[in-house]
Amino acid sequence: MPDLIEFINRMPKVELHLHLEGSIRPVTALELFYRQNPGAPHIDYSELSKLYRFDSLGEFVNGMQRITNNIQSLEDLQRITAELLESLCKQNVHYVEFDCAVQKYLDIGFPLDVIIDSIYTVVKNFQMQNRIVANLNINLLRGHGPEKAERLVQQIIALNHPFIRGIGLSGDEAAVQQKEFTLAFQIAREAGLHRTAHAGESMGAQSIWDAIHYLQVERIDHGTRASEDDQLMDYLALYKIPLTQCLTSNVRLKVVDSYEQHPFQQFLQRGICVTLNTDDPHVFDITLTGEYQVAAMTFNLTALELRQIVLNSIRASFMSDEEKNHMQRMIAVEIDALLSHIGREKTALA
């Protein structure tokens, strides 16, 4: 296991299910709170951490609103983006697709092109100085309703920004059914935007079927409760529909009772294209490196299985086929060289 942990620490990684607003460092959250609430009583870290404790997805959504309501400027977005990319670079993440709930900032009064360019400026600077590639998916929130989602998709299409690869749908599945967003996703599909949706998190397997049939998504965010339906698992494997799994998020939000009861290994063994991700890293106090370590220890995964999960993430990404092929070759070579190097180190020590 020490050799495997060392391998995980050093191996190149890919992250596909990551919310920008869920990446706010606690110290940053406090600073934003005090700026928006001058003269407010002192809040220490332990009190702030209470906002990061949830017993249900509904509580999580409400808690996140309280935290993210203090994001009021483009500089705030840039700071959060820079802090996120800094953390990812330290973990040797070579590719990331993160999402941003831009409707909030549109409602404040910022134009879409200004919002996207503000984030993209930070990304370009990091890409010039670090070995990381980042793309953006726009997060449509169920709570905003289907009409607002449709208008936002139209704006995204009109902007035609190369940084934006697709759209996603998140929020409480129980609040608004998947089919309500059929038109928004149809508009996106016809314009060539990639599509994903949270499903099978708070709701059961039918939510995943609905995301596939009504929204025609290319991948499923979470999809944890697909384990309740054998036919669905066979379908996901047959049609290579990826699941962006987030183990710690699922445990913290009580989608599953424990890591050991998570169906991740079952999905992997059935040939489903599963990936590992953090969802909201600072909210759930997890890193992508940590998520790989949890998976390895919980499910007794081998280095080759971890390699497969990383390569799954590349296939599940919204990169072009050419970009995927290049990234897959590069990462496969790097992982294989790392495995060989660690093996030589172990032999030398013996």
For the 13-294 domain, the top CATH level (class) is alpha beta
Q: What is the mean pLDDT of residues 58-86?
A: 81
pLDDT (0 to 100) of residue 234: 98
Q: How far apart are CA 109 and CA 72, in angstroms?
A: 10
Adjacent-strand bridge partners of 141: 170
Give yes or no for residue 299 having a pLDDT over 60.
Answer: yes
Given phi > 0 = left and psi -120 to 50 = alpha, else beta, which region is 254? left
pTM listed for this prediction? 0.92
pLDDT tens digits, 23-56: 988 788 778 777 777 776 666 666 666 666 666 6
Closest alpha carbon to 142 in 167, 112, 99, 175: 175
> Would residue 194 be called left, alpha or beta, if left means φ above 0 and alpha means ψ between -120 and 50 degrees?
beta
Separation CA 119–CA 78 (nearest Å):
6
Residues forming a β-bridge with 133: 95
Of 135 and 69, the structure prediction assigns the larger pLDDT to: 135
In the numeric block, which tokens belong to residue 336?
């294989």
Q: Answer yes or no: are the C-beta atoms of 80 and 71 closer than 8 Å.
A: yes
Distance CA 153, CA 159 (A): 10
Burial class (CB in 10 A: 0-12, 13-18, 19+), 90: exposed
Which residue from 2, 1, 25, 65 is spatially nearest to 287, judged by alpha carbons? 25
pLDDT at 30: 78
Residue 71: how many CA atoms within 13 Å on its side-chain side?
Answer: 30
- Contact (Cβ atoms closer than 8 angstroms) between residue 136 and residue 165: yes
Q: Report the largest interatomic distance among the alpha carbons of the chain, rounded to a whole angstrom.
A: 65
CB 164 within 8 A of CB 156: yes
Burial of 350 (0-12, 13-18, 19+ CB in 10 A): exposed
Count CB-CB contacts under 10 A for residue 31: 15
**Domain residues of the chain, as ranges?**
13-294
Q: What percent of the chain lies above the pLDDT cut of 90? A: 77
CA distances from 40 to 34, 48, 66 (A): 7, 13, 15
Nearest to 43 by CA among 76, 75, 52, 78: 52
Mean pLDDT score of the chain, rounded to an integer? 91
Which residues are identified as catalytic? 201
The DSSP output letter for 172 is -
| pLDDT in the model for residue 3 | 86
